[in-house]
Amino acid sequence: MALRHAVLAALLDEELSGYQLAKAFRTGVANFWHASPQQLYAELAKLEAEGLITGREVVQETRPTKRVFRVTEPGLALLEKFTAAETRPSVIRDDLLVKVQAADHVDTAHLIDRLAERAEFAETKIRLFESLLLGMRGERAEDEYLRRGERIGPYLTCLRGLEFERANLAWYERATRVLHERRTTRDHR
């Protein structure tokens, strides 16, 4: 039941449509939760039925009419309660880590390709996060923004996302180096 809280948290700062939410939640952008469009449309419908958010039609000339949502008082109260409640430990589930775990028993040539793909992906995300952070803090220095800026929640989660991807990239590069070295030394034996 945490998806609903993630949706509420995402709608705190701005009214968004299901489509816009989906864009924010798709892999690579949302730095605090991930969800598919189908999940989001379903969750929005449930949240609205329970009165935790309210929708409002926005007619556009060139684009289809959309419905944007904002959090209601009961919705904010629910989030408040959620934030105070116990936090469950986060879990790791990553295909690529499974593959590296098995590295000693399988051919590593393809694995090195997978690592390269991910490294490229990580680089893209790093650039994206850096520009998002810059957009939020503007001219201000980071510490100054965190002391006195408004909306530091999104800034902090984005910062975590950035550091996560930087660490990923460093690890991908190291793993690649190690696997490559071992391949060449083995081949020349």
Task: State how far Cα 166 lies from the chain centre.
Answer: 14
Query: Per-residue string for binding with a copy of itself, 144-183, x by CB under 8 A?
Result: --xx--xxxxx-xx-xxx-xx--x--xx--xx--x--xx-
| Beta carbon of residue 2, minimum distance to a copy of itself (angstroms, whole number) | 6
Task: Give the binding site for DNA (CB under 7 A).
Answer: 1-3, 17-20, 22-23, 34-39, 41-42, 44-45, 60, 62-67, 88, 91, 93
| Beta carbon of residue 19, minimum distance to a copy of itself (angstroms, whole number) | 20
DSSP at 134: H
DSSP at 54: E
DSSP at 50: T
| Beta carbon of residue 30, minimum distance to DNA (angstroms, whole number) | 12
Q: Which is nearer to DNA, 43 or 165 (CB)?
A: 43
| Beta carbon of residue 3, minimum distance to a copy of itself (angstroms, whole number) | 9
Report whether 47 contacts 8 (CB < 8 A): yes
Q: Please pick, from the candidates 45, 97, 120, 127, the single residue that binds a copy of itself as defined by CB under 8 A.
A: 97
Report whether 155 contacts 136 (CB < 8 A): yes
SS3 content of the chain, % helix, strand, coil (to 5): 65, 5, 30
